[in-house]
Chains A and B, each alone.
Chain A
C-alpha cells in the first residue's frame, strides 16, 4: 500500500506542501479571527473565497487586470461582503441557539454557491496568461512561480495581520473584545464596531488569498467547498481563535496533504488530512494552540 518515494520527490512534495500551507493558513486566519471575536464559525467562508476568486477572474476577463493587481480589489470587495454579512445576519444571531448560528451561515454558503452557478454557470474558468507563471528551481527541485509568489504574499499578509492585532490600538481593541466583550465595552470600546470590523478583516484575508489562488487554480462555483473544509480543519487543529495556531496548522496540513498523496495514494490525501485532524482533536479537543 505504501510507496517509497525518492528523496527528490519527497523534498519536492514537502516544499509544495509548505507553499500551499501558507495559503491555507491565511484562509484559516480569517475564520479564526471571526471565531475568536464572537464564537461563530462562518460556514460560508469557502463561498467567500469563491467570490474573491470570481472577482479576480472577472477583473482579468473584463479589464485585463492581472491577478496581482486585483489583490486590493478582491480584499476590498470581501471586506464589504463580510461587513454586510455581519450587519444583516450575524448581528441577529449572536445570542441565539447553536443551531441558528450554524445554519445561518451554512444557508448563506449554499445560497452564494447557487447564486454563482446561476449567474456564471458551473463552467471551470482559468486566468490564462497571468504575469507570474511557469516553474522555478529552488533547492534542486522545481516549484510553480505563482505558488511561490502566493505563499510569500500570504506570509506577508499574515505578518501584517499579526502586527495589526498585537501592536495597533484598533487591533488591541479587537483582542480585548475577543477576550471579554462586556469588559471591553465598559472600557469605552465600541464593541459593535469591533465585531463588524472583525468580519470585514476576516473576510478581507480570504479576499487576498483568493486573488493569489485564482492565478493558478480553476475558478468555479464549488471551488470554495474544498478549501472551506480544509480551513475548518486548519482552524480546529490550530485552535479556534488562535491566529499563530492557524499558521502552524496550515503548514502542517499542506505538508500532510502532499505526503498522504505521495506515500499512500493521491486519492487518499484528504483522508490523511481529515484523519490527522480527528486524531489531534480527539487527543486535544481545543486544538494545538487553543485556550479553553
Chain B
C-alpha cells in the first residue's frame, strides 16, 4: 500500500522534476501503452482469449471521436464515451461469432478481422481513407481536450485514464468476475459445467477490454491531433500490445505496466542509438524477448520476481 502511494506520488510529481518535453512524451506513451496492454490482459491474461487484433478497438476509439469532431463538431469529451460505446458494440459483433472458435483458431480469426477493418478504413473516404484525418486546432482548454502552450494536462489526463484502468483490473481480479474469467481460461468445459455462461463472460471480458482500448484511442487522437489507418489500426500495434503484456507478465495486475515501462524506453533507446537506419533493432530485441519469455518464463517478469521475492511481490 505504501509502495503504491510512493509510485502514485512519483507519477504525479514526475513532470515537474523532469521538465523536458521529451521525457514527458516518453512517459505519456508508456502510460498509454501500459493501458492498452492492461486492457488486452483483461481478455487474454485473465480470460485466456488471445486476441491479435486489438488495434481494431484502438482505431474505433480514435476514429469515432475524431470523425464526430471533424464532421459534426462534437466535443471530444462526448466523443470519448461515443468511441467507447462503438467499440463495445463492435466487440460484441466480432466476439459473438469468433468466440465459437478456440485457441489458435480464435487468434487467427482476430488477425483476419484486424486486416479486414484496416483495409476498409483505408478505402473509406468518409473517414479520410488512406490520407487520414487531421484535427484542426480550436482552443487551448480542458473543455476542448486540446492543449498547446502547456502539455502537462495531457500527462495528467493519461495518468488518470491509466489509474482508472488499473483500478478496473484490480477490481476484476478480486471479484467474482475475475474468478469466472480465470475459470474459463483454465478449463471452459469445467466452467460451463459449474454454471458459468462461458460465452457471456467471454463477451463481458471482450467488452471491458475494448472499452478501455477505445478510451486510449480517443486520447491518442487528441494528443497527436492526426490519425490514419497505418498509425491506429496496424497489426504491428496489436502485436506490440500483446508483447508488453507477455514480457511483463500475462494475467498479473502489474505485468502490463512493467512491460511498458521497460520496453517502450528500450525502443526509444535503440532508435536514438541506431537512428533512422531502418535496421529494426528494437524489433530484433522485442522478438527475441517474446520468444525467450514464452519459452522460459510464461508468467513474465512479474512472475519471475514474484517467485524470487515470495509473498512480497504481490
Q: How far is the CB of B112 from chain A (nearest CB, A)?
A: 4
Question: Given B104, B112, B295, which contacts A277 in the complex, CB threshold below 8 Å?
Answer: B112
Task: List A contacts of B291 (CB < 8 A).
Answer: 89, 103-105, 107-108, 111
Determine chain B's interface SS by DSSP, over half rule. Answer: helix
**Contact of A152 with B by CB under 8 A:** no
Q: Given A98-B48, A278-B112, are A93 and B294 also a contact pair (CB < 8 Å)?
A: yes
Task: List B contacts of A112 (CB < 8 A).
Answer: 287
**Contact of B108 with A by CB under 8 A:** yes
B side interface size, CB within 8 A: 47
Whether B108 lies near A236 (C-beta < 8 A) is yes
Residue of B nearest to A277 (CB): B112
**Contact of A183 with B by CB under 8 A:** no
Q: Given A102-B107, A118-B281, are A270 and B115 also a contact pair (CB < 8 Å)?
A: yes
Whether A229 lies near B115 (C-beta < 8 A) is yes
Q: Given A102-B104, A278-B113, are A114 and B281 also a contact pair (CB < 8 Å)?
A: yes
Task: List B contacts of A236 (CB < 8 A).
Answer: 105, 108-109
Q: Given A99-B294, A268-B119, are A282 and B287 also a contact pair (CB < 8 Å)?
A: no
Q: How far is the CB of B202 from chain A (nearest CB, A)?
A: 14
Interface centre among B104, B111, B116, B235 (most CB of A within 10 A): B104
A side interface size, CB within 8 A: 49
**Contact of B172 with A by CB under 8 A:** no
Interface centre among B109, B123, B289 (most CB of A within 10 A): B109
Residue of A nearest to B279 (CB): A118
B residues lining the A interface (CB < 8 Å): 44, 48, 50, 97-98, 100-105, 107-109, 111-113, 115-116, 119-120, 122-123, 235, 239, 242-243, 246, 250, 278-281, 283-284, 286-296, 298
A-B pairs with beta carbons under 8 Å apart, 16 shown:
A39-B104, A99-B298, A100-B298, A105-B291, A107-B291, A110-B239, A110-B283, A111-B284, A111-B287, A111-B290, A111-B291, A114-B281, A114-B284, A117-B279, A225-B235, A271-B120
